[in-house]
Amino acid sequence: MTLNRDAAAALGFLAFSIAYGWQATGIDLFPGQEYEPFTPQTFPLALAVVGGVLAFLQLMKSLRAPPEAGESWLRYDWTRVGLLVFTMIVYGATFTWLGFIVATVIFLAAGYLILGERRPLVIGAASLGVAIGFWAIMTQLLGLYLAPGEAFRGWLW
């Protein structure tokens, strides 16, 4: 028997609720706190139980429902979305090291390229313009600190 998508999701949430509940039992308590009516474990444990029950009900519901031929997920543009998420992660990872301006220019230019923009002038202007404009407003006008870039320490500043 193959699981339909809803049943798989319900099973996933059931497993998540059990893992969450199991983790909740490990939350530290102060000595004697276990005799109190409410401890830091109470609410998470209650949520784990409610989550488990809901997931079980959803599982039963989706197993009883006739399997639907939903839209195939394969026809979606996963490549572009995957690449965009990847650039977000790289942006986060290089932000402090490259500094706000360089990291942002790279992030924006990569985003435009991934989505199909090919004109170098547009890519350059729309990434440099936004990064420098935003940097100027934040640091010069509002006096906020934005990472200047560890990589350029001793070289530029």
Partner 1 sequence: MIEGILTGLSTAFTPMNILMVFVGCFAGTFIGMLPGLGPISAIALMIPITYGFDPASGMILMAGVYYGAIFGGSTSSILINAPGVAGTVATAFDGYPMAQQGHAGKALAIAAVASFSGGTIGAILLLAAAPALAQVALSFQSADYLALMVLGLTAVSAFTAPGQVLKALIATVLGLMISTIGTDPSAGVQRFTFGSLDLVDGISFLLLAMATFALSEALMAILKRDETSAAAQRATAGELGSMRISREEVREMVPVIGRTSILGFFVGVLPGAGATIASFLAYGAERTFASAKDKLKFGKGSVRGLAAPETANNAACTGSFVPLLTLGIPGSGTTAVMLGALISYGVQPGPRLFQNNPDVFWAVIISMYLGNVILLILNLPLIPYIARLLALPRQILVPLILFFSLIGVYLVSFNTFDIHMMAGFALAAIILRLLEFPMAPLILGFILGDMIEDNLRRALTISDGSIAFLWERPLTAIIFALTILTLLAPLFRILRQRRSAMLAGEGG
Helix (H, G, I), strand (E, B) or coil at 4: coil
Residues 95-154 that bind partner 1 (CB under 8 A): 95-96, 104, 107-108, 111-112, 115-117, 122, 126, 130, 134, 138, 142, 144-145
The tally of CA atoms less than 13 A away on the side-chain side of residue 138 is 13
- Binding of residue 80 to partner 1 (CB under 8 A): yes
Region label for 45, one of left (φ > 0), alpha (ψ between -120 and 50) or beta (otherwise): alpha
Q: Closest CB to partner 1 among 81 and 132?
A: 81
Distance CA 64, CA 86 (A): 38
Distance CA 102, CA 156 (A): 13
Q: How far apart are the first and last CA of the chain?
A: 64
Among 15, 61, 136, 150, binds partner 1 (CB under 8 A): 61
- Binding of residue 42 to partner 1 (CB under 8 A): yes
Interface residues with partner 1 (CB under 8 A) are 5-6, 9-10, 13, 17, 20, 23-24, 27-30, 33, 36-40, 42-44, 47, 50-51, 54-55, 57-58, 61, 73, 76-78, 80-81, 84-85, 88-89, 91-93, 95-96, 104, 107-108, 111-112, 115-117, 122, 126, 130, 134, 138, 142, 144-145
